[in-house]
Structure 1
Amino acid sequence: MKIAKWLKRIGMALLLIIILVLITGFIFEELSRSKAEKIQADGQFAEVENHKMHYLQKGIGGPTVVFETAFDPAGHLQWYHIQQDLPKNYTTFSYDRSGILWSERGANPKTGEKIAEELHTLLEKSKVPKPYILVGHSFGGMLTRFFVKKYPQDVAGVILVDSQYPSDEKYLSPELYKMVNQGLPGGFLKFANTFGAARLMFSNMFPATAQYQYQNSIMPALLYKSADATLEEQDHMKSIKTEAAAINSFGSIPLFVITAGDKTRYNSFIKDQKIKNEILTAWDKMQKDLLNLSTDSRQIIVEKSGHYINQDQPEAIEDAVNDMVKKITVQ
């Protein structure tokens, strides 16, 4: 009887502690959001279909290099350091997709076509010079297909940075396909976002160096804005992949396929050597297949880089951008 009483008391105490932790987390999150609302945006805004979208523009003159971010709550911050390093005699342009960081969500669905339309309108409103060179990382690489299909006359070149391959089921076993496409735990992340845990979980998304100090301060501060839109993109991922797979040609638009080459990049989270070998082999095949998108394509393998080449070896992307600018301005 005494044991039952003690267990009940312990249970009540644990429940009280959990409630106090949640209340503290909620208050912490609300105060953090209030503080984040005062952070000055680093770029400019334009009205796109009744909502404001944020972009960061560097340099002057043409062409304009347009960066499309991965499935990532960091938005334009993934390109921030690269834009600082690229020459200023042509324009570079990064932006936050609707609902990410400083861009308002708006009412458009998160489809590949609508994302392309919003980007095109944003480019037109910002009056950056044409033609465009599209640079897309991972999911962003897949999104470039929709832009090329809809606005081919505006696109002079495409650079895919370890891009997603929309028909990955062709190269993956059913087990591996399920593993790599399982996505983020949406319910848990929404809960964590409400009670302050998400901003702590993503506090060091970028390398802990002086070069990324700004990104590491802004991204978690504004995560409460970005989280829902990112998870919404995940909800549309399957349909976006299906539609992107049907866009299988850029014609003769010059294409660079930049591929991660570090064979140890999965070691930290995949222990099974057979699975590791399978995904490495499949990824290599998918990256080579991307070359077939254009009749004028070449592959650049970055041997010591993982998937986030823009962080591991940003100079590889910078070199490719400069090469593409030279290529299209000579033609």
Structure 2
Amino acid sequence: MTFLLAPRLRYLLFGVAIVSLAAVVGAIYQAERTAADLAAFPPPGRMISVNGADLHLYCLGSGTPTLVLEAGLGENVLSWYPVHAKLAQTMRVCAYDRPGLGWSDPVDAAIQAEEVAKNLHALLNNADISPPFVLVGHSRGGIYVRAFYHQFPEQTQGIVLVDSTHEQSSKHQYPYASWDYRKQALQIEIAEPLSRLGIVRLLGVADADRRPSPLPPEILAAKTALQNRTDTAHAVVNEIAVMRRGLDPATPPPGSLGNLPLLVLTAGNLVDSDLVAREAERAGKNLEAEKALASVQQAEQDDLAHLSGHSRHIIVRNSGHFIMQDQADEFVGAVSEFAKPLARK
């Protein structure tokens, strides 16, 4: 028996050594490539210290109120590239990166929407950008800008929701909802440790050009560099950890915005039942499940539009979730028209 165990033990130790060596090599590769990427793609804006972390703030244009752009889950200032400079022709427009995203430093713990709002308020204050603000929130960012308003209503002159997430979205039931939501969380939780070893980078899982995009190649290259940072995967895990708490039946609905000027932009491709049906058939997805999801999304967007007594709801045709990229000119026109009368107040 002793003679049988010895070779097996040697094979086991040899396997552990190979795996350990591969992990070390992968970690070194990830660190070196990340450093090279950050050198190749420096931040376009300023780094501002907030609670001991440097956050990236990118402002263009001038005037008041200041338009503040809050990106969606895992996104950064580059997601606004098609509209940022165009909007800045008539007003000051500031985009920023939440901790761990884009060029901003990471933080260890998951942060609630209220803390995101406080960080944004401190960032603007530390950068000497005075209120009033018109807040623009895309996807998950829509929750964050509403949290900002509820904490700093006197500094908020208006809100634009861009295909915004609904606070109770994760617990609204439609076929396969719980499984799809948990599958997304599981995938990113697996991706985070793999990103530390350079595996996510090698496989191209986080590359920004994996799907057709209207963004130019140089912006896609910069986005890919940023999304391959280990900090990005960690930041997304943190945000999803907070999002999963929305499954709790005690999660309150979105709070009223009173009579605050509100513009709600909804992605037409995601709520058009005929288009959803054609896409489901083309992709081999469950037709009834996709139609049910479209119905839930339409109801959520309608609910958000009723948060204020002074609101306008526009369904942007021929647009997916990233309205500011798919229909940049229509986006700029709608937001500029919304903000123009606020500048005169």
- Asked if TM exceeds 0.5, the reply is yes
Alignment match, 1:302: 316
Alignment match, 2:255: 248
Amino acid at match of 2:192: K
Aligned pair partner of 1:63 in 62, 65, 69: 65
Q: In 1, distance between residues paired with 2:170 and 2:241?
A: 18
Please give the per-residue CA displacement for 1:100-154, whole angstroms capped at 9, x wherever unaligned. Answer: 1211124675111111000001111222242111111110011112101000001
Alignment match, 2:239: 233
Q: In 2, distance between residues paired with 1:250 and 1:290?
A: 10
Question: How much does 1:86 deviate?
Answer: 1.7
Q: In 2, distance between residues paired with 1:79 and 1:24?
A: 36
Q: In 1, distance between residues paired with 2:200 and 2:55?
A: 24
> Retained in 1: the 8 A contact 2:174–2:293?
no
Amino acid at match of 1:142: I
Amino acid at match of 1:161: V
Question: How much does 1:213 deviate?
Answer: 2.2
Please give the per-residue CA displacement for 1:7-57, whole angstroms capped at 9, x wherever unaligned. Answer: x9xx99xx79x9597676545323312312424211101111122111100
3-state DSSP of counterpart to 1:52: strand
Please give the per-residue CA displacement for 1:154-195, whole angstroms capped at 9, x wherever unaligned. Answer: 111111011111123674237424424543323420233123
Amino acid at match of 2:205: M
Amino acid at match of 1:203: D
> Number of residues paired by the alignment?
318
3-state DSSP of counterpart to 1:236: helix
Matched, 1:158 2:159: yes
Query: Cα gap change, 1:205/1:155 in structure 2, threshold over 3 Å: closer, same or farther?
Result: farther
3-state DSSP of counterpart to 2:258: coil
Amino acid at match of 1:118: N
Alignment match, 1:216: 220
3-state DSSP of counterpart to 1:300: strand
Alignment match, 2:337: 323
Query: Cα gap change, 1:182/1:153 in structure 2, threshold over 3 Å: closer, same or farther?
Result: farther
Higher mean C-alpha deviation, range 158-167 or range 182-191: 182-191
The TM-score with structure 2 as length reference comes to: 0.82
Higher mean C-alpha deviation, range 298-307 or range 84-93: 84-93
The TM-score with structure 1 as length reference comes to: 0.85
Alignment match, 1:124: 125
Q: In 2, distance between residues paired with 1:170 and 1:230?
A: 20
Question: How much does 1:302 deviate?
Answer: 0.9
Question: How much does 1:71 deviate?
Answer: 0.7
What root-mean-square deviation, in Å, do the aligned CA atoms of Structure 1 and Structure 2 show?
A: 2.9
Amino acid at match of 2:168: S
Aligned pair partner of 1:258 in 242, 255, 265: 265
Alignment match, 2:302: 288
Q: In 2, distance between residues paired with 1:299 and 1:284?
A: 11
- Specify every segment of 5 or more residues in structure 2 that has no aligned partner in the other structure, as ranges: 1-7
3-state DSSP of counterpart to 1:274: helix
Amino acid at match of 1:130: P
3-state DSSP of counterpart to 1:201: coil
Alignment match, 2:142: 141
Question: How much does 1:240 deviate?
Answer: 6.5
Q: In 2, distance between residues paired with 1:244 and 1:218?
A: 37
Q: In 1, distance between residues paired with 2:209 and 2:118?
A: 29
> Retained in 1: the 8 A contact 2:26–2:198?
yes
Amino acid at match of 1:48: V
Higher mean C-alpha deviation, range 135-144 or range 216-225: 216-225
Q: In 2, distance between residues paired with 1:67 and 1:206?
A: 25
Query: Cα gap change, 1:22/1:105 in structure 2, threshold over 3 Å: closer, same or farther?
Result: closer
Query: Cα gap change, 1:168/1:186 in structure 2, threshold over 3 Å: closer, same or farther?
Result: closer
Question: How much does 1:221 deviate?
Answer: 1.7
- Specify every segment of 5 or more residues in structure 1 that has no aligned partner in the other structure, as ranges: 1-7
Q: In 2, distance between residues paired with 1:288 and 1:320?
A: 18
Q: In 2, distance between residues paired with 1:251 and 1:209?
A: 37
3-state DSSP of counterpart to 2:58: strand
Question: How much does 1:290 deviate?
Answer: 0.6
Question: How much does 1:249 deviate?
Answer: 0.7
Aligned pair partner of 1:312 in 315, 326, 337: 326
